[in-house]
Amino acid sequence: MDLPEITALRRPESVVRIPDRQDVPITPRVRRILDTAPVRRLASISQLGMVALVYPGATHSRWEHSLGVYHYGLKLLDRFSVDDRFADPAVGEAFLLATLLHDVGHWPFCHPIEDMQLGGLSRHEDHAALWMNDAEIVQAFDQDWRCTPDQVMGFLTGRHGDAWADDDACRFLTSCLSGPIDVDKLDYLQRDSWHAGVPYGRNFDADRLVHSMVVHPERPELAIHQKGRTAAEMMVFARYVMFSEVYWHHAVRSATAMLQRCVFLLQNRVDLESSFRMDDATWIAMIRRMAAGSMAEPLAEGLFGPRRCLHKRLAQFDVIEGESLHCRLARRPYWWLVAAAENLARLMSTETGLAVHASDVLIDAPPVKLEVDINIDIVDDDDQVRPLGRLSPVASVLANRQFDRHVKRVRLFVRPDLKTPLMRSLDSPEAVEGLVARAIDQAEKEIV
């Protein structure tokens, strides 16, 4: 595969420098893609959204992350550039553009909002298709590249149709962009960790992993040679710890729960579908304006107003402590969680005599959609294949015992000034658990 970007990787003439001390080689045609309005817009969209309310340095953008993913995609193509199975330069170009444009459909706070599965709201993959047909993007493709926007979308969706004569090469590269180990995770784990100021996502050897990537001997997808097994194991564990300590940190989840309830309350007043073209600042201003004078105002102002005011954790349940409640609440539809939380607010008012309003109580639970599989196959010199979970005790636990069940706890949040009086009135964790169980019972009866 002979691409100018691979030449630039080996002998860079122009680079963009991103943290941490990473020089991303840029060719003129890549620069023209980066300078289009749809891609530049990503510089004004936060990569981690609510995480910055807890880790102040985590304000990096999806534009920065996209450059990092592109850099790893380029390294991967360089590794396979002498393999005859990847001789079609148009396939390589489409993959490279997919790494660069994989987040183009994202809009402010889209992941937690998508988790709510609101009716009539398109997913970011659908928005990506709209941006990919933007006049600037189409012109850049026509001027510089041998692939089409639709072929790039095939890598983003995993649905190539009959776009390519060599489907195996496309299927393999697609697995490198979205899979248990992929170029997206290689970048975001390290980048998010660095910006958050924690070491957890950087304790694996990314370059070793790239050099250990191989084509699976039995099917066209990514596998790891045995020399990279330890690096793969460390990456799996890094991802687990980043979810535990950063992405699902209790205060981050409090802010996320507040954002979701705020959007839920405003869904009939805000045209969320049209807001996908906004940047963070414009979207936040819209939400604060629409929330003014409504039940959603304290939530919006607590997140985006002049003073941070997050709901406090009253209780949490996981598969070790509170397994029954965790099982009853995890992966429930969001509207059902709202109904259960409103029932709980009424029960708290009745039992304690305190004024607990519907939006004062939030139930945060793992969403309906599960995380991707964290297991991957390891290949030895004789092409013998074994899952990483069979070779690694750490990966085995995380792969065979569902990842989401361990790292994503169910949490109950209440308005900050209510936490202490509620704890005094209910006087024991068992009393709280009893009220939650009753609220769930009521919600289940209401469904029937």
Residue 361 near residue 414, CB atoms below 8 Å:
yes
Same domain? 42 vs 182:
yes
Q: Is residue 297 situated within a structural domain?
A: yes
Q: Is residue 341 situated within a structural domain?
A: yes
Residue 300 near residue 262, CB atoms below 8 Å:
yes
Task: Quote the pLDDT of residue 273.
Answer: 87
Task: Quote the pLDDT of residue 321.
Answer: 85
Q: Per DSSP, which regions of 361-416 are E strands?
A: 361-364, 377-379, 385-387, 410-414
10-residue averages of pLDDT along the chain (448 residues):
92 94 96 96 96 97 98 96 91 96 95 91 87 94 95 90 78 94 97 98 96 96 96 92 95 98 95 90 97 97 97 93 92 95 97 96 90 83 93 77 77 97 94 96 84
Q: Is residue 215 situated within a structural domain?
A: no
Q: Is residue 380 situated within a structural domain?
A: no
| 3-state class (DSSP) for residue 33 | helix
Task: Quote the pLDDT of residue 389.
Answer: 86
Same domain? 165 vs 265:
no
Same domain? 122 vs 190:
yes
Same domain? 279 vs 418:
yes
Same domain? 184 vs 53:
yes
Q: Which one, of 212, 201, 211, lies nearest residue 237 by Cα?
A: 201
Q: Is residue 98 situated within a structural domain?
A: yes
pTM: 0.94
Number of domains present in the structure of the chain: 2
Please state the separation of Cα 340 from the chain's center in Å. Answer: 26
Q: Please give the order of strands across the beta sheet that includes 361-364.
A: 312-317, 410-414, 361-364
Say how far apart CA 141 and CA 148 lie, in whole Å: 7
Same domain? 188 vs 257:
no
Same domain? 63 vs 159:
yes
Q: Is residue 238 situated within a structural domain?
A: no
Beta-ladder partners of 125: none
Q: Is residue 134 situated within a structural domain?
A: yes
Residue pointed to by tokens 């790893």: 72
Same domain? 255 vs 191:
no
Residue 222 near residue 175, CB atoms below 8 Å:
yes
| 3-state class (DSSP) for residue 209 | helix
Burial 46-60 (b: 16+ CB within 10 A, else e): bbbbbbbbbbeebeb
Same domain? 151 vs 34:
yes
Same domain? 267 vs 173:
no
Task: Quote the pLDDT of residue 418.
Answer: 97
Task: Quote the pLDDT of residue 53.
Answer: 96
User: Which residues form the domain of 256?
Assistant: 250-369+405-447
Q: Please, which residues have CB within 8 angstroms of residue 115's CB and are 6 or more apart in sequence?
A: 260, 334, 367, 368, 369
Q: Is residue 30 situated within a structural domain?
A: yes
* Domain final residue pick, 154, 176, 197: 197
Q: Which one, of 163, 190, 184, 160, lies nearest residue 172 by Cα?
A: 160
Say how far apart CA 288 and CA 299 lie, in whole Å: 9
Phi-psi region at 331: left, alpha or beta (left = phi > 0; alpha = psi -120 to 50): left
Here the CATH number for the domain that contains residue 143 is: 1.10.3210.10
Q: How many CB atoms neighbour CB 25 within 10 A?
A: 21
Say how far apart CA 391 and CA 412 lie, in whole Å: 38
Task: Quote the pLDDT of residue 392.
Answer: 87
